[in-house]
Amino acid sequence: MAVDVRLTGLTKRYGDFTAVDAIDLEVRQGEFFTMLGPSGSGKTTTLKMIAGFERPDAGTVELGGEDVSGLAPYARSVNTVFQDYALFPHMSVEENIEYGLTITKVPKAERVKRRAEALEMVRLEGHGNRKPSELSGGQRQRVALARAIVNRPRVLLLDEPLGALDLKLREQMQVELKQIQGEVGITFIYVTHDQDEALTMSDRIAVFNEGRIEQASSPRDLYEHPANEFVAGFVGISNAIERDGRKLTIRPEKIRIVRDGIPADGLITETGKVTEIAYVGMVTRVKVDLDKGGSVQAAVQNTESEAEPGGRVGEEVVVGWRPEHAVSIQGETSKSVQPEERET
Ligand code: ATP
């Protein structure tokens, strides 16, 4: 598939501090691409350089094969949706949506048609005459989205657009946003620090850490095959243990507490002692200190057949996992190994 956005060696410094450190990245046409990472890892700065709000100190931004690094924001075929909606309070929903088209002098008939389409797209038909203050948070965010979509940008940048919403609405909007993206076919680059949100919506995710990308791959690949300890720990709960000089990570749901009568065929088993048990609804989390060193957390399904799936604190247990679920990881993050490599 064609590449829509290409970042090459993209770098941003603030004084001595490097906020974005020589990033290379390709986002494909029509992709829902997420930048995930902790606060301060450089996601927003990268987004701003794609939009043109920040100038890179080095490297280039290409949109549809054209180097736009020197172009002003309005001259790039991108639109940005921010967390704080930034709707005009004195304008109606329709006027807000139409605003960008008025600026670019799109004829009235075309404006009316496109704004109606955009309203329908975000499921706000019949709300066009309301003021933003007469809408819920989720509805306002959808107006902000419609206002961006109506301009038909090549790429839509979204910076934590659901950050201000409560959890239920947020989860509902995640599904809606993904659907809308599929319908309009615009490339989305989405910034979040919420791993569940990233896993739910994205075709691919780039995990940021200290201005660098640790790994960029599909949600499944990221979760099942994290490249290093940072990714393993940031996306989901990771159990990192060292065996035979190798660092391994095993996801909690892949670890079983092996009991009498439960076959352990094909499993790697180890003995240990239960140190913590936490009931969390769907699963019980059981922490086991392993006799060979290190500890792991197992997520045991709370099926009705087991009254106490996790056992008791202090109990000696056998835990097991399939060999392919113990994933080999680098012990250090790429941040700590790459600077030397780049200098040589
Ligand atoms: P968050 O999830 O908190 O928004 P982020 O990953 O988007 O974080 P950025 O906003 O890109 O992070 O910031 C990256 C780093 O650059 C941070 O340490 C931040 O303090 C710093 N930074 C960002 N903008 C500026 C600026 N204008 N001047 C100085 N430092 C800045």
Spacing, Cα 34 to ligand 1 middle (Å): 17
Cβ atoms 252, 298 nearer than 8 A: yes
Tens place of pLDDT per residue across the chain (344 aa): 699 999 999 999 999 999 999 999 999 999 999 999 999 999 999 999 999 999 999 999 999 999 999 999 989 989 888 776 678 999 999 999 999 898 888 999 999 999 998 898 888 888 999 999 999 888 888 899 899 888 888 999 999 888 877 888 888 889 888 988 998 889 999 999 999 999 999 999 999 999 999 999 999 999 999 999 899 989 988 888 999 999 999 999 999 988 766 777 889 999 999 999 998 888 899 999 999 999 999 998 887 655 565 578 999 999 999 999 999 987 544 333 333 333 33
Query: Pocket residues for ligand 1 (CB within 6 Å)?
Result: 14, 19, 37, 39-45, 193
Ligand 1 atom index nearest CA of 35: 6
CA distances from 89 to 92, 143, 178, 240 (A): 8, 12, 27, 50
Model pTM score:
0.84
Spacing, Cα 108 to ligand 1 middle (Å): 41
CA-nearest residue for atom 24, ligand 1, is 45
Q: Which domains does the chain have, with CATH numbers?
A: 3-229 (3.40.50.300), 239-328 (2.40.50.140)
Looking up tokens 């791993």 gives 195
CA-nearest residue for atom 19, ligand 1, is 40
Spacing, Cα 335 to ligand 1 middle (Å): 17
Question: In what helix (H) or strand (E) does residue 232 lie, and over which residues does it extend?
Answer: helix 229-234
